[in-house]
Structure 1
Amino acid sequence: MSEALGLRQGTLDLVPHDPFWAALFAAEVAAIRAVLPPGRVAIDHIGSTAVPGLAAKPILDIGMLASPIQQEAIAAALVGIGYIDRGERSGRLFIRLRDGDIRTHNLHLYAPNDPAFARQIAFRDMLRADAGLRDAYADLKRQIIRDTDGRRAGYAEAKGPFIEAALSLRSRDDD
């Protein structure tokens, strides 16, 4: 496992974007696909590590779409390669740890047509396409970390209004 990834459980830190994250994602997808049961499964790189130029927590976020029928077999396969099943949280959340308490991966398993997955992809794509939005989001994340002294609790919720506003503007532009 690369040292380019990982934060101690419960902590927050942002690092400059690392172009190597794309290769780490591709390698992780290959490892996951090698243990998956047969069937159609979509896997996407989501979250800040998927956005070139965006400061991010050095934890790969992976989104996976699979039918409810497939999900138990997929969960067993993921646990078999070292993921920990954390239950329902923005899809079914699985995490991977290094050295017992350093989180390196978040994998979110969604059912097809889950609006949470669609929102993840839409926001990622907006950040990739708009450097001003990307930079404003990075500034917000840094401010939240300063305001919380790097504590993980509340970080995702504090970003929520920004994400909602960006997605809302996109929806209006699509109309």
Structure 2
Amino acid sequence: MNQEVHIETYDAAWADQYAAEAMNICSALENAELLLEHIGSTAVPGLSAKPVVDMMLGVEKLCQIDEWKGQLEAIGYEEVHHPDMPERRFFRKGPRGAGTHHLHIYVYQSEAWNNQWLFREELRRSLAKRKDYERLKQTLARLYPHDRKRYTAAKAPFIQRTIKQAQRCRLP
């Protein structure tokens, strides 16, 4: 099923939506020690985005999620299996193609976790990168308005390049 790609102008309410949902998750997983981060374009002030709040949860082992699956389902999250991404577990809140929140679960401080964090921080830090990424997303949304998979795949080279540049800049 192809999903529509709709980019909206930055909305400061996205940060509030993240904070509210983070509290909801923490409340549902009350006995767990959690590290949650707001990631993706909605986490970057001034950046246009699909209006979906992306979050990442850091865990010691991905199998920990099996213990929490019922609690996440009780607050509206559905696990979506992505066998091509074994380094992550993924849950969506809301219907397919119209989800409101995405929860990406990684081993804390793993390469995948760090790359998500680096990309977000680089976009927050660099106005030029943020503008380049926004232009790319708008172009791709016009090229692939009903194909989210192609839209996402076409962003990958920019994302990987940005992460590699950020990694080089962090070296001593």
Superposed pair shares fold, TM > 0.5: yes
Worse-matched range after superposition: 41-50 or 30-39: 30-39
Which consecutive unaligned segments of at least 5 residues does structure 2 have?
A: none
Q: Corresponding residue for 2:77? A: 83
Count, aligned residues: 166
TM-score (norm. length: structure 1):
0.87
Q: Corresponding residue for 1:41? A: 34
Q: Higher strand share goes to which structure?
A: 1
Q: Corresponding residue for 2:22? A: 29
4+ runs deviating over 6 angstroms: none
> 2-side partners of 1:166 and 1:65: how far apart?
22
Shift of residue 168, structure 1, vs aligned partner:
1.6
Shift of residue 149, structure 1, vs aligned partner:
2.9
Shift of residue 39, structure 1, vs aligned partner:
2.9
TM-score (norm. length: structure 2):
0.89
> 2-side partners of 1:101 and 1:161: how far apart?
24
Shift of residue 75, structure 1, vs aligned partner:
2.1
> 2-side partners of 1:101 and 1:135: how far apart?
26
Shift of residue 91, structure 1, vs aligned partner:
1.2
The sequence identity of aligned pairs, in percent, is 32
Match of 1:119 among 115, 122, 125: 115
Alignment of 1:58-73 (within 5 A): 58-68=51-61, 70-73=64-67
Shift of residue 102, structure 1, vs aligned partner:
2.2
1:29–1:169 CA distance, 2 compared to 1 (3 A): same
> 1-side partners of 2:156 and 2:137: how far apart?
11
Q: What is the letter of the counterpart of residue 67 of structure 2?
A: A
Shift of residue 114, structure 1, vs aligned partner:
2.4
Shift of residue 172, structure 1, vs aligned partner:
2.3
> 2-side partners of 1:101 and 1:139: how far apart?
23
| Secondary structure at 2:148 match in 1 | coil
Q: How big is the alpha-carbon RMSD for the aligned residues of Structure 1 and Structure 2?
A: 1.8
